[in-house]
Amino acid sequence: MEITVNQQNYQVTEACSMQDLITVVLNAPTTGIAVAVNQTIISKTNWESYLLHSGDQVIIIKATQGG
C-alpha cells in the first residue's frame, strides 16, 4: 500500500505499524520526534500498535534546539 510521509510517497506492507515505519522503512531514530497521521497526533506509546492504512498522510516533526 502507499502512504505519504512528509510529502514523499512510500510503499509499505499492509500490516505496517507506525513503529515499523519509523525504524524499518525510514531507518530513523525514534527520539526527539513527533508524529501525526491525517492531522491527528499519535502518542509515542501507541506507535507499536497503530497500523497505517493506504493513503494515510504522515507528518514527522523533529525537535530542534535553539533560542
Whether residue 53 is predicted with pLDDT greater than 80 in this model: the reply is yes
What's residue 48's pLDDT? 96
pLDDT, the chain, mean: 94
* pTM of the entire predicted model: 0.90
What's the per-residue H, E or C state across the chain? CEEEECCEEEECCCCCEHHHHHHHHCCCCCCCEEEEECCEEECHHHCCCCECCCCCEEEEEECCCCC
What's residue 51's pLDDT? 97
What digits encode the pLDDT tens for the residues 41-51? 999 999 999 99
Average pLDDT of the residues in 28-39: 94
For residue 5, list its beta bridge partners. 8, 58
Q: Which CATH architecture has domain 2-62?
A: Roll (3.10)
Per the listing, cell 493513503 goes with 55
